[in-house]
Structure 1
């Protein structure tokens, strides 16, 4: 088994009818930039019905179904980090959001 196969696979499923491909690719870029050595793959998965869900090794870690508004990149990075590299600092992304 290669090193890439041992690393987690992240999937971003997005609604094609809602035209959320740009948002999905931006999130993928943000996550790959931050976790390039920690992720084995980042996949964009076309869907319909208003779906926007982020999964890590098949387990949902964020879904627009649960949160009416989209999350920001910093929150998504924290969610991924907490699962794959909990001791890793994220710099400015670790700062709490302003009220």
Structure 2
């Protein structure tokens, strides 16, 4: 799996500069984050609050309780929530582009 930074570099190297989303734009939409680990489970939920007040949820869980690590669970849950923002922001950008054209 290629990192966001590698993909971003390739896009820039190829001169693809039409309106688009970037990792920095995605991160700029996030104004808050909260986590909850359900007691007695390995389930971790991350709730990201976006600048317009909308919230996005990501989750993580591991099959073996012995492998559970709260910090890693939070990281995975946050990554899953953040990935959802790409779709939402992509849709919003497409709406703006279609209205302008």
Provide TM-score, normalisation by structure 2. Answer: 0.28
**Greater RCO, CA 8 A, separation 6+:** 1
Q: If each structure's helix is expressed as a fraction of its own residues, which one has the higher value? A: 2
TM-score (norm 1): 0.29
